[in-house]
Structure 1
Amino acid sequence: MIRSLAFIAALALAAPAAAQDQSLADVRSELADLSAQLQSLRSELVASGAQGMQAAGGSSALERMDTMEASLMRLTSRTEELQNRIDRVVKDGTNRIGDLEFRLCEATPGCDIGSVGQTPTLGGESSGASVASAPAAAAPSASSNAPALAMNEQADFDRAKGVLAQGDFQGAADLFSAFAQSYPGGPLTGEAMYLRGEALEKTGDTGSAARAYLDAFSAAPEGTFAPDSLFKLGTSLANLGQTVEACATLREVGARFPNAAATSSAQGAMQSLACQ
């Protein structure tokens, strides 16, 4: 009995640390299991009578159980609060991206509003826990800790970059688009989507460039290229005459990525646009 009680106490104290490597659903499930075990121990202790109570440490055993139960309730309540907050952020972010897609289509000649489909949930099925900074002028290459490259992935990426360096911007945009479709979720895909936006921007197709930057940000809203993609989206919206939306987007750069180099560029762009 005493060993079981100590085991549950250790698990309850370790729960916050373990949560760092688990989803909130996993944490809530474990907290529910711990609560059920604690209730079972309480019933076992009460049923053991005075002798069992004395062996467990007397009336203080029940007091310790009450303390642990209260801690479990606080942890459970906290995980529910976090889940609700995350759900609100994801919903709000998804709605904002959907609105930007609609407005981009309105501002792009020849775009069919009916072709704007349902916006995928922000971040997809999962999103990273950390935010990485990236310079605004030249986005860095993929991290050495990134997943292994698929066969021909590096060669296809280098070929698209080579075409971009040669000044064939439309050709490069097409190659980067094909690359993103061929290697979805790959370690170089975020950079490819970002560079596609730059290539389209140099062709003068600002509307398509803005959509490319939006796609790059939506695919990885906390990835390495997210700050620059968001900044470029804001400046593209400004060039399309969507000043209000541009200011809102540029403001998000600093709010989401305060330490990124793109934040300084976004602040300068906001000053130029006289954003309120």
Structure 2
Amino acid sequence: MLLAGAALAGLVPGGSAFAQPESREGLYLQNQILQLRQELELLRRSGPVPMAPQLPPPGRGGVPVGGGEIISQLLERVGTLEEEVRRQRGRAEQAEYANRTLQQQLEKLQGDIEYRFNALESRGAAPAGAAPGGTPSAGRPTGGQQQGALNPPANSPAPPPPAGQPSTPPPRTPEVALREGQAALRRRDFTAAEAAAREVLAARNTPRAQDAGILLGDSLMGKRDFQNAALAYDDAFRKAQTSSRAPEALIGLATAFNGFNAKREACATLDEMRGKFPRLSSELTQEANQARQRAGCR
């Protein structure tokens, strides 16, 4: 699929974003390159470097070593150091991408744990104890009575919550969470919209996962977190690549690419969308044209 390379490449910034070395090794190599370039410039200005006369080997005519050979050696050292800088830069980019991926996985895992914990809390029965006013509960033994004589523990009904203490509300359904998240997005409460989207995505096998992914991308775009928004839109598209909302996810992905100046990936995404979905609504067509103009697509 054409989008796969674009989405993954777009989340790792290009060469311009990593023009500066990001480690002590990279700084050291850059300093050596600058020093060698200065030496080369001095050699070019001063001409050949005079060398001490050398006796030719027996039977051969010797040629003294001039500045050209030194320059070639320096150029070779510069090339070696530049290659090492490129390798260091590649390692830094790989480490940053792996760190960003682990952060996304950690956020999803945290949302899943919170959702499951809230669900267990809402299903858990209140502990058996004395009812208000000092009246013993139905399952509690009184005097010398053996426990379970009135009601076996397995069949004892859960006592109602104490007066004045509200019971824990049940968790929101995905439909309610999405509806409230869209309302938060319209009033520009991007944090609440993101939380609602992640709540739906934390549920397993929910049919509203693509809707939640698009909502997550929209909320991250509102917070100008363009790279994570691109991840959310791409994940939403992959969940249902032929659904009615798949073009919306691709347009969001292209817009997120434009957000961090990945114009080539944005154009590739829009071209793929044009091939997969030649007929779009007028609103989506207008949004796609705007994203194409911002990216400067042909």
Question: Structure 2 length normalisation: TM-score?
Answer: 0.44
- Structure possessing the higher radius of gyration over alpha carbons: 2
Question: Structure 1 length normalisation: TM-score?
Answer: 0.47
Q: Could you say which structure has the higher helix fraction?
A: 1
